[in-house]
Amino acid sequence: MKRTFISRTKDAALRKALLHFLRPRFERYGEVRELEVNTSAKVVSAEVALKGEPFPFVISEARYRIEKKGDESWILFYGVKVSKEWAQNLLEDQFPEISVKLPKIVEMLL
């Protein structure tokens, strides 16, 4: 499916907003180096340089959906695929879904 200019622009704006939101929250653990968002497919991918790790942690696919709870919006990640086997097993066994409250600026872009 070919993505339109508007779709790509929306993805770029969302990417920028998410990076602004995520980078300070990841500082203690490392740095979010790359982040790609495809709002048409509802998939996020990322590369994170973790402190003390020689190789980046790659999230090759994280599907998401948005849910409203009262007046708040939450993003729920599921079907996450990562580059570390132990982390993949942990996600599958203990965290089949990960929910994060969305800031208003990000919510407006979705």
What would the pLDDT profile of 7-51 be if each residue is shown by its tens digit? 888 888 888 888 988 899 899 999 999 999 998 899 999 999 999
pLDDT in tens, 59-97: 999 999 999 999 899 999 999 999 999 999 999 999 999
Count up the domains in the chain and report the number. Answer: 1
Residue 43: name the closest of 14, 70, 65 by CA: 65
Euclidean distance between CA atoms 104 and 75, whole angstroms: 12
Structural domain harbouring 32: 5-109
Q: How many residues are there in the chain? A: 110
Residues 45 and 62 sit within 8 Å (Cβ to Cβ): yes
The alpha-helical segments, DSSP class H, found in 3-95 are 5-26, 85-94
Residue 1: name the closest of 36, 62, 42, 60 by CA: 42
Euclidean distance between CA atoms 89 and 41, whole angstroms: 24
